[in-house]
Structure 1
């Protein structure tokens, strides 16, 4: 009924103006143009409100205190959530405010909902390492991880030789701690790295570093390459 009343009143105004010889349509067009900014503003406001409802009620993507990551935010801790915006404390300690309509349309990773924390690293050993040394090192590393109560032995746990690199033969380690606490995880990683170094030293092997071998052919007779290298090194 309200729409019908508006239509009748509007039609009456148009008819009266026409009787007076006034063309009303340019005025209506002007009103339409002026209303565009308000329409766009209302669209953004509605988008933010519905985005907030989607994040907080429908999907329950995160809550205050969660560590999240998204393209528009990067990473940070959620501090304030309203129906229009989300405020995130970045790890740089700055605060970033994001409209809900923006973040609701993005992929969001909620790191606070991890069940475990992953340890993933490569150990490169020199090409002079023998097969027996590799077997001993792999066995000792596997035993170390298997005996550590801080490691979750119910999830994926792998220690394998994975490939030949330019300067090394690599062992890949992939396993998870029970804790998700960052400091506890870092402490475990530190302990394991120190233990891995001891295992490698015990086996008589060495960790690799980038090197290059230069093969020279056709040098003049009596040309002393070693002397030139030693002279340059001494400088």
Structure 2
């Protein structure tokens, strides 16, 4: 039995931007070098960059073009609007880029979670999903086995298992990771903690607290414990597709 964590998530297939629900058209941005970490780093850099002269402003926008390639063509509408307002001087550029980082981070989470919602039933799981402000989670059941998955803004993923008494969870994890890769989501493993407990590891323990389904409890925990990609910007670009808890039949 083990708890699996991934630090980075890569989006490698056009299926990510075409196969899922109403937010799917926005996922195209993730396939063109646009990512939340680059935007968050840029926002931090801009905070230390005085923009008192036209040449300084021009240099700052050059940094935007380098960190967010082809942003005019591929950013989601909400992010594009934020940068457009910055171009007109309506909002500070740093705040606009911070809003873009939050927007892209949420898109990265939803792209991975939407892919998991398609993949898990194909692996034999009945699933319940919950979405929060910066966390999405699944409770996936197959007989006596329960897999818990938590996605955070920016694409970080954690998985845990309940009900397994041998090392078969490693095989289940490999099947899920392989299926996600085939669907266009590559999970880069950061840690795999062998806890040898059929009751689950740290993720399962966090899901045991509070009320609601296991997925809803994980979302509550994730939202409360999340570290922001950037300090709270004065403005926010909110992507479409924020969703409440829901159930999927196998």
State the structure with bigger RCO (CA 8 A, min sep 6), 1 or 2. 2
TM-score with structure 1 setting the length: 0.28
Rg larger in structure: 1
TM-score with structure 2 setting the length: 0.27
